[in-house]
């Protein structure tokens, strides 16, 4: 069988040294776990965790037209972003379905950074280049950029000790330039865990220094390195969508529960179709399920009165909520909280109940 060589992030040697179990993910060899998914999950909820997300893509848009261009590409209000602000949004196609979910950071007056999913980098690049005008310069810096996330209730204290107190004063979705470990970085108060936390963008050459400095600064606070396994259980408890599971080019923002990311009173690709679907009402929608007596997984059928009516998009054991949880598409008319359904696991219908999401919300 022909094998494509897997790429490595600048932190590959660190992961090996830490005893990480490495797996192929989106063309990269990535750590799925170090000490164990449950222990890592709990560390992020109660203390802090450090993630290598250098596989993610970073697109830069510069020039007088940059902000207007990205505003046309993304479903949310990019035109309204001040310098130092970031926003979550969707890239959609003209059919009103989802090409990717992204975060857009306005890092300077005429410069925006868009962070995209690793598996979608090539596709997204083609998608955005179609709309690019002469007043906007585009650069895909995915390869040369490392992304390190520090997440958890002690993240601000640890990062602040390393980079100065300014980052700890960032509002959620705020972004600034900073220096840490003698390296220039862009620091944003964003994340994918349901905890307070930051994402630190640095040139690949600086990744090792920043990683080591944060590990050292977090030692006493109980910071652990966190793999993709716990990243998934953390995001699922917080009910964040994962591209390829909850959302893809066969799903629209309305049924995915992402209508809030669509500013329908502006022009963006897919806007008309999404507005139409919103007016019609979604035929199916994503619900949270708690499963009683089994672990639901991506692709399992959801059953109502013995009839298959939907599909699980993601499922796992949630260590913090201590329940088997899942997200699933079901018909809107049987999606109310409290509805009794079942998930077909190994040909057995295991009872499941529709619950409110997120499954986990961090204490104020």
Partner 1 sequence: MSAVPDDLKYSKEHEWVRADGDVATIGITHFAQEQLGDVVFVELPEKGATVRQFSSLGVVESVKAASDIYAPISGEVLERNVKVIESPELVNSAPYGDGWMLKVRLADKGELTKLLNAADYRSHIGESAGIGGD
Q: Given the rule CB under 8 A, which residues bind partner 1? A: 32-33, 36-38, 229, 233, 294-295, 297, 316-317, 319, 324, 346
Q: Which residue has the tokens 């490595």?
A: 8
In the complex, least distance from residue 306 CB atom to partner 1, rounded to whole angstroms: 21
In the complex, least distance from residue 307 CB atom to partner 1, rounded to whole angstroms: 24
In the complex, least distance from residue 313 CB atom to partner 1, rounded to whole angstroms: 16
Q: Is 215 exposed, middle or buried (0-12, 13-18, 19+ CB in 10 A)?
A: middle
Angle at which helices 228-237 and 37-46 cross, to 10°: 50
Indicate the length of the chain as a whole number. Answer: 364
Nearer to partner 1, 14 or 232 (CB): 232
List, in order, residues 6 or more apart from 67 with CB less than 8 Å away: 78, 79, 81, 106, 110, 112
Minimal CA–CA distance to 207: which of 15, 45, 5, 41? 15
Nearer to partner 1, 270 or 319 (CB): 319
First-last CA distance in the chain: 52
Strand arrangement, sheet containing 175-180: 175-180, 183-188, 197-203, 145-151, 49-52, 224-225
Nearer to partner 1, 114 or 345 (CB): 345
In the complex, least distance from residue 298 CB atom to partner 1, rounded to whole angstroms: 10
Nearer to partner 1, 10 or 294 (CB): 294
Give CA 332 to chain center in angstroms: 25
Nearer to partner 1, 251 or 313 (CB): 313
In the complex, least distance from residue 125 CB atom to partner 1, rounded to whole angstroms: 31
d(CA 89, CA 301) in angstroms, rounded, equals: 29
Nearer to partner 1, 29 or 252 (CB): 29
In the complex, least distance from residue 229 CB atom to partner 1, rounded to whole angstroms: 6
């Amino acid at each position: 069988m022909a094998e494509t060589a897997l790429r490595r992030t600048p932190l590959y040697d660190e992961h090996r040294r830490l005893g990480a179990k490495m797996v192929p993910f989106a063309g990269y060899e990535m750590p799925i776990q170090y000490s164990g998914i449950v222990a890592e999950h709990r560390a992020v909820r109660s203390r802090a965790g450090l993630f290598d997300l250098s596989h993610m893509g970073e697109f830069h848009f510069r020039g007088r037209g940059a902000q207007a261009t990205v505003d046309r590409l993304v479903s949310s209000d990019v035109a309204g972003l001040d310098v130092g602000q970031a926003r979550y949004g969707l890239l959609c196609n003209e059919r009103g379905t989802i090409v990717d979910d992204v975060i857009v950071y306005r890092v300077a007056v005429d410069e925006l950074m868009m962070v995209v999913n690793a598996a979608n980098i090539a596709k997204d690049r083609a998608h955005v280049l179609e709309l690019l005008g002469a007043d906007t310069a585009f650069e895909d810096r995915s390869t040369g950029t490392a992304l390190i996330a520090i997440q958890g209730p002690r993240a601000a204290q640890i990062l602040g000790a390393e980079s100065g107190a300014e980052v700890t004063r960032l509002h959620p979705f705020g972004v600034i330039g900073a220096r840490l470990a003698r390296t220039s970085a862009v620091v944003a108060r964003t994340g994918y865990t349901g905890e307070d936390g930051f994402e630190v963008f640095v040139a690949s050459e600086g990744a090792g220094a920043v990683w080591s400095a944060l590990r050292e600064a977090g030692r006493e606070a109980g910071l652990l390195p966190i793999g993709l396994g716990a990243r998934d259980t953390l995001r699922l408890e917080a009910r964040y969508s994962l591209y390829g599971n909850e959302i893809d080019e066969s799903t629209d923002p309305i049924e995915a529960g992402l209508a809030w990311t669509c500013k329908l009173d502006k022009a963006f690709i897919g806007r008309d179709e999404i507005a139409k679907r919103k007016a019609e009402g979604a035929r199916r929608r994503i619900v949270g399920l708690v499963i009683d007596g089994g672990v639901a997984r991506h692709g399992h059928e959801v059953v109502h009165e013995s009839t298959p009516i939907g599909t699980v998009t993601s499922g796992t054991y949630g260590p913090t909520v201590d329940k088997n949880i899942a997200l699933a598409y079901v018909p809107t008319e049987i999606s109310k909280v409290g509805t009794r359904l079942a998930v077909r696991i190994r040909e057995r219908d295991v009872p499941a109940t529709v619950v409110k999401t997120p499954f986990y919300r961090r204490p104020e």
